[in-house]
Amino acid sequence: MSEPPLEMISVPQPSRRRQIILGVVTVAAIAIALFGILPQFGDFEKATDAALGLPAHWLLALIGAAALSLIVYATQWIAVLPELRYRAAFSVATTSFMISNGIPGGGAIVLPTQYAMLADEGVNRTRATSATGVTALWNILATLMMPLVGVCFLVAAGESTPTWWLTIAAGFTGFAVVALLLRALVRSVQVARRVGVAAERVANFFLRLIKRHRARGWGDALVRFRESTHVLLSTRWLQISAAHIAIQLSQFAVLDVALEGLQRGEPRSTTFATALFAFGVSRLGTFIPISPGGLGTVDGVLAALLVSAGNATAADALAAVLIWRTLTFLPGMLLGSTSFVLWRRRSARRVAAVLAHDAAAASARETGYDAESTGG
C-alpha cells in the first residue's frame, strides 16, 4: 500500500469551545499547583525571595543548564531518525512537549501532529510509526530507570541498607527481563504474538476484577509493533538509550544546580545522591494523569522528598522546585508553541503551492486540449 500524500496527513482540529475549555483547565491547573499545592510545603514568599536572591553567576549557571536540557531534548528524535536535521528534530520535540505537557488530553493530538511534522520532513508513515513508538517506549523506560539510578547513588554514598539492596536487585532484574523480552520480540514473530496474548490474559484478569471491558487483539498489535520497529531496535538501541538518559540527566542538572546555589556558603544539606533519588521518584508522577505534565503532582512529591529525605529546609526545597519547574517547563512551552505556529505556516504555504501547481497544470492541460481541438 502506498504512503498517503503529505497534504492528506492532517492534525485534528478541536472546536473553539473545546479550545477555550482546555485553556481554562490548563490555567486552572497551573494556578492550583503554584498557589494551592506547592505553598503547602513551605513559605512561598521566602522561597521566591531565595530564588530571586541567587547571585548572578548562579543565575547564569542555571540558564546554561536549562539551555543544555533544551538542546539535548531534540536528540531523542535524531536517535530514531538519524537523517533528520537538528532543526526539524527540535521542532518536533518542543511541539510534542508543548502539546503533551500543556494541554489536558493532549495525548490524542500529539501523535497525529508528530506524524504530520515528520511527513513534512520526508519521513514516510511506516518509519514515523516506528520512531514515535520507540521514542514513547524509551521515555517510559528512562523515567522508570531514574529512581533506580538514584538508589544506586545512595548506596554508593554510604546509605547501604537491605531495603536499598533489595530495590536494586528487583529493579535490575525487571529491566533485564524487559531487555530480554525486547530482544526476543525483535527476533521472532511467534514470540511477539505469544507475549501479546499472555499480556492480554493478565490484563483481562484484572479488568474482570474491576468489571471493565476485556482487552482484545494484543497479540496482533505486538506483532505489528515488532514488524515496524525490529530494524530500528536492532541497529539504534544504544543511541536511543543514550539520548533518553542524557535527557533525564540534563533536566536533573537544573534541579541540582538550583540546590547548589541555594545552599551555597554552607555544607550542602541535600547531597547529589539524595537529590537524584528525589528527582527520579517524583518523575513517576508524570504517569498519573491528574494535571498536564504532572504539574503539581511531581512538584509536590519532589518538594516533600527534598525536605524529608534530603534534609533541605522548606524554603530551599520549594525554591529549588520553583526554579526547576520554571526553567524546564516554561521555555519548552514557549518554544513548542512557536515551533507549532511556524510549522503550521510552512505547511499551509506548502499546501498552497501544491494546489497552485496542480491548478496551473490542469489549466495547461485544458489549454492544450483546446489548441488541439481548434487545430483539428
Q: Which residue has the cell 544546580?
A: 257
Contact between 195 and 181 (Cβ < 8 Å)? yes
pLDDT in tens, 91-103: 999 999 998 887 7
Instruction: Pull the grid cell for residue 337.
Output: 508553541
Q: What is the pLDDT of residue 279?
A: 95
Query: Residue 118: which of 131, 100, 133, 105 has the closest Cα?
Result: 131
pLDDT-flagged residues of the chain (< 70): 1-43, 104-107, 289-292, 358, 363, 366, 368-376
Entry pTM: 0.80
Three-state secondary-structure class, residue 331: helix
- Domain regions of the chain by residue span: 6-375
Q: What is the pLDDT of residue 19?
A: 56
Q: What is the pLDDT of residue 242?
A: 96
pLDDT in tens, 179-205: 888 888 777 888 888 888 888 888 888
Q: What is the pLDDT of residue 5?
A: 41
Q: What is the pLDDT of residue 26?
A: 60
Q: What is the pLDDT of residue 41?
A: 63
Alpha helices in 214-313 (DSSP H): 218-262, 272-283, 297-308
Query: Residue 113: which of 95, 140, 126 has the closest Cα?
Result: 95
